[in-house]
Structure 1
């Protein structure tokens, strides 16, 4: 199978159970459905396998069976990840944000910019890990050197076959003198150059295989002059480019911007025309409910990174308020500010943080109504602020796809949408329904494969599942990661921890 998309691929037909979240809080389990892709990897048929039309299709084309105890679900979207920081993930999380950047982040990024072979190794391993954990679309911060970011773009396209938005950092100010661009003009010229070269790199591919795109990336306000920010805003508008940055992330960063600029992050970005429907801003933990409505009005999306917020922000993100305000929200791992590249962990952490917020709200409300309470104490009569696992799954799939403005229908199984999906197995059918990984099913009457797939089974996977349950990954209808295990007859590509090449 050609990895460059030059060869026409065959249509595929898959029969089994499918799970998706078309709307916030809603999960649909579609039992025994038939899904067909066309030669471009888009879904051109999806319906119950019992329909006469489905039977006619299966009479003329072999259907790949998804065994009992398994299901197909859309791939995850990671809206915020620092690719060079994968070099040191899981270390150095003991410092405040601004100190951490100087001690760890800038050094690692500078190291990759000076060693192209190291960059290649780091980025290949990152691509493999993303696929292993079911991520099909990712927005990446890179480094300041154009050539290093072109390595990242090439690796994501050739090795990972991921939908990747690759950002060359723009920063004309830095606390590390050796890691900064010479001027706003030089930074803007480099941004132009990277975008041109990144687009040109994949121009020969069919349009549906051009999975990697450039994204303008002012690191954050402290590393960018106002001239650079306004220049990037003009460039984004002129060329219709995506934008990513960090906004209102941590107490020390917020105070730094107020002192240096005399206004808040939100105002700086808005005045630079960098809050657009093509923008993803990470974190936003220090935005009030009113400011979240302002963000919604611009069409800007937010990458919620609950794990890194726990380390580097003194505030949890107001997730429920953002959703209620109409902000497009997805999840991010924020490697290496977060230590896990697995979006499943981000989902669980998002729920946990929201539950803690709800607990704090409930306790505060109880105290404010007690006889001993200060009569001037502000009370909170708003509705609950927690989210549940179904909503978190939406954020990781359909919500993330909308935030990234992926092709129509991404994150769902809809005719016309690209087939980006994960094959999940809960049990080993040949071993009398033995559970896989951390999962356990003690009651035979409700065991996957014996009983029909239901919400409780999906929830248990959501809570306890890991890469051992992930049989394979499809991007744009193509198998990009596959484990040769157990019995499925569908073995197009061998995969043992690394994507097949």
Structure 2
């Protein structure tokens, strides 16, 4: 058994739905881990009698939290983060497609995958839902790196059989074969999962989307990820390509892609009735504030989505997103809320980054908080990582005030250690 003594903060429920019982905070806490799982989490004085001869690592001055969950990120876009451009469709043509073409090379894919996984862990992300490129080798490389670290990661090859440059399109037949092979090789291996990944409706023919729905039906338990209602020009082009569809969400629904374990990135321009349909089918939304701002896409209506029962998690959306840090992303989410007149509560922010993200991925029975029985994916955060942060923490008058400051001032420098299934995989 491993034992860690520090302040501990995690969420047991959505604080907007359960104000009294959602937040679990232990000023002098003890976390007990055994065989990769949490076996105890609570006040030190209460759990200390269970220690026996187990040595305790004293991490006083630090805060233990669950690992962060990133519900939307692009592995092949690492090298174009912070690339100057216009809005979504132009940005794809100018930056994204040329960068993704390089992932036909297995060595480039493997080198980038190693960096990508290391960067996730350095920023405290312990679970991610990831887009690969259209090339099967890109996803093989990513899964291999995650498997080597026993990381919980879900990924899929992008499906694009139209409206993409030469070398970045597949066919219905080739994409089906690639997905079947990837599912056979990786889905359920270690803590890995496969996601059927239509890039977005514009890049997929009706035949391709039909096939994607068939693969989902053939393989219960796999995920589906795509983009939805991100940009006004994208929405208009989707309507032109699918004139019989009721709206953008209906494009996916009619092909069987709106279901449990379906995660839709952005949803900036969805309205109440569409959110209701999304929630009724069990779909989830990845809220990606840094990319929505960077590409000028718009301000996601978080409060409205949640009011309709939609599951929401946080997404960094690298490379249109401008940081791997979920902490920094939460600060940007607060600013989006301010512009909409809906200030994000700091406890809800932490919920979205942990248990909310786990619920969006239908993994809350395994990850998302530090309840006994959960997989021991957790972080050790340094509350004095920078002089400014240390000064701000010293002056914080309440837990809420302290947590809010962490989400506004925090970034990768705060992450002192990252643990996957009880094993330290990163130390600053």
TM-score by length of 1: 0.79
Aligned to 2:274: 291
Q: Of residues 418, 441, 463 in structure 1, which corresponds to 2:391? A: 441
The answer to whether 1:36 aligns with 2:25 is: no
Deviations 1:185-229 (A, max 9, x none): 3322222122222238x4xxxxxxx12222110111011111211
The residue that corresponds to 1:343 in the other structure is: 326
> Does the Cα contact within 8 Å between 2:119 and 2:324 map onto a contact in 1?
yes
* Other-structure match for 1:397: 354
**One of 86, 90, 101 as aligned partner of 1:99:** 90
Taking a change above 3 Å as real, the CA distance of residues 218 and 404 of structure 1, as seen in their structure-2 partners, is same
Partner of 1:205: none
SS at match of 1:50: helix
Matched-pair contact (CA < 8 Å) for 2:294–2:322: no
Measure, in 2, the Cα distance between the counterparts of 1:454 and 1:352. Answer: 20
**Aligned residue in 2 for 1:326:** 309
Structure 2 counterpart SS, 1:273: coil
Aligned residue runs from structure 1 range 169-248, under 5 A: 169-181=158-170, 183-199=171-187, 202=189, 210-240=190-220, 241-248=222-229
Task: Provide the rounded CA distance (Å) in 2 between the counterparts of 1:473 and 1:85.
Answer: 23
Deviations 1:437-482 (A, max 9, x none): 5314279xx569xx9x833333322221232222101111111112
TM-superposed deviation, 1:148: 2.2
Residues 289 and 318 in structure 1, CA contact (< 8 A), matched pair in contact too:
no
Q: Secondary structure at the match of 1:59?
A: coil
- 1:277 equivalenced with 2:260 (yes/no): yes
Distance 1:116 1:189 in 2: 18
Runs of 4+ in 1 over 6 A off after TM superposition: none
Shift of 1:421: 0.8
Distance (Å, rounded) in 2 between the aligned partners of 1:343 and 1:471: 15
Total equivalences in the alignment: 419
Whether 2:409 is the aligned partner of 1:468: answer no
Distance change in 2, residues 1:86/1:421 (3 Å): same
What's the counterpart of residue 427 of structure 2?
A: 482
Higher CA-based Rg: 1
**How big is each residue's C-alpha offset from its partner over 1:147-166, in whole Å with a ceiling of 9 and x where there is no partner?**
221011111222x5432111
Match of 2:44 among 46, 49, 59: 49
Say if 2:64 and 2:381, in contact at 8 Å, map to a contact too.
Answer: yes
Assess, with a 3 A threshold, how the Cα gap between structure 1 residues 425 and 311 changes in structure 2: closer, same or farther: closer
1:77 to 51, 62, 69: 69
Structure 2: gaps of 5 or more residues:
16-21
Equivalent position of 1:61 in the other structure: 54
Instruction: Give the match's secondary structure for 2:389.
Output: coil
What is the alpha-carbon distance in structure 1 between the residues aligned to residue 12 and residue 343 of structure 2?
20
Q: Give the match for residue 19 of structure 2.
A: none
Contact 1:328 1:403 in 2 (8 A): yes
Tell me how far apart the structure 1 counterparts of residues 413 and 279 of structure 2 sit (CA, whole Å).
Answer: 38
Instruction: Output the CA distance in 2 between the equivalents of 1:386 and 1:456.
Output: 14
The aligned counterpart of 1:207 is none
* C-alpha distance 175-55 of structure 1, shift in aligned 2 (>3 A): closer
Q: Please state how far the C-alpha of 1:409 moved relative to its aligned partner.
A: 5.2
Residue 391 (structure 1) shift: 1.4
Distance change (3 Å), C-alpha of 1:437 and 1:165: farther
Work out the CA distance in 2 between the residues paired with 1:313 and 1:196: 39
SS in 2 for 1:299: coil
Partners of 2:187 and 2:411 lie apart in 1 by 35
Q: State which of 133, 144, 148 in structure 1 corresponds to 2:134.
A: 144
Aligned with residue 458 of structure 1, among 403, 411, 415 = 403
The 1:353/1:305 distance shift into structure 2, 3 A limit, reads same
Q: Could you tell me whether the CA contact under 8 Å between 1:289 and 1:322 is conserved in 2?
A: yes
- Aligned to 1:179, what secondary structure does the other structure show? coil
CA RMSD of aligned residues (A): 2.0
> 1:155 aligns to what?
145
3-state SS in 1 of match to 2:391 = coil
Q: Deviations over 1:18-51 (max 9, x none)?
A: 0112233354321223221222x11122232223
